Amino acid sequence: MADAIVFNGGARGNWKVLRQGAIKGAGLGNVAFVDRGTKGDAGASWTLSGVTSNLRYTNASEKKVLDATPSVLARPGATRAALIPITKSAAWWAMAQDERRAVLEDKSRHIAIGSDYLSAVSRQLVHCRDQVGAPFDFLTWFEFKPEDEARFDELLVKLRATPEWGFIDREVELRLEKAA
């Protein structure tokens, strides 16, 4: 079953915002904290929510690689995180499943590139495209140790240079530190 994941941006929360900004398109209102949980907060400046889901594009051999290093959140020492909400373009969604897979992996190597970072970066993909009125298609969440932040930066540079990123209309990035 899908798990509901809710991010409340505001004056309180379990993650402190170190910096935030728009990578492409409109940003989100600046907040001091993000609370990652399962419920909305009426006092929040903004709330983003979605659900975990099944894989869409990953093939069996790629899944085997991913499953060999399961993504575990809240690992000891992983006190840094990134929340990157993303919306893809109409051109992306107009393509058939096999054409989208071809851009994501055959042309962009998203899964292959990401697989090099499995030991350093824990991740969670939250889907919201099928939710009425949702401002983003995906809420991507990553956790890592402070000493692995440079590797995460390197991963972002690689992914953002791929053809897949040409289909992204809106991308916002928040860097976070686990609140005491």
Q: Which of 47, 115, 124, 162 binds ligand HEM (CB under 6 A)?
A: 115
DSSP 8-state secondary structure symbol assigned to residue 82: E
Burial class (CB in 10 A: 0-12, 13-18, 19+), 94: exposed
34 three-state secondary structure: strand
Looking at residues 53 to 72 of the shown chain, list those that interact with ligand HEM (rule: CB under 6 A): 55-58, 66
What string of DSSP letters covers 126-166?
EE-TTSTT-S-SEEEEEEE-GGGHHHHHHHHHHHHTSGGGG
Looking at residues 1 to 40 of the shown chain, list those that interact with ligand HEM (rule: CB under 6 A): none
For residue 51, state whether it binds ligand HEM (rule: CB under 6 A).
no
Which range in 10-18, 26-34, 40-48, 51-59 contacts ligand HEM by CB under 6 A?
Answer: 51-59
Looking at residues 151 to 180 of the shown chain, list those that interact with ligand HEM (rule: CB under 6 A): 155-156, 159
Tokens of 29: 């209102």
Q: Which residue is nearest to ligand HEM (CB)?
A: 114
For residue 110, state whether it binds ligand HEM (rule: CB under 6 A).
yes
Which range in 14-22, 28-36, 39-47, 108-116 contacts ligand HEM by CB under 6 A?
Answer: 108-116
Give the Cα separation of 4 and 52 in Å (integer): 7
The dihedral sign for the CA sequence 71, 76, 77, 81? positive
The residue behind tokens 């969440």 is 141
For residue 84, state whether it binds ligand HEM (rule: CB under 6 A).
yes
CB of 65 vs ligand HEM, minimal distance in Å: 9
In 21-81, which ranges are continuous DSSP H helix?
60-68
- Nearer to ligand HEM by C-beta: 11 or 93? 93
For residue 140, state whether it binds ligand HEM (rule: CB under 6 A).
yes
Q: Which residues bind ligand HEM (CB under 6 A)?
A: 55-58, 66, 84, 86, 88, 110-111, 114-115, 117-118, 121, 123, 125, 138, 140, 155-156, 159
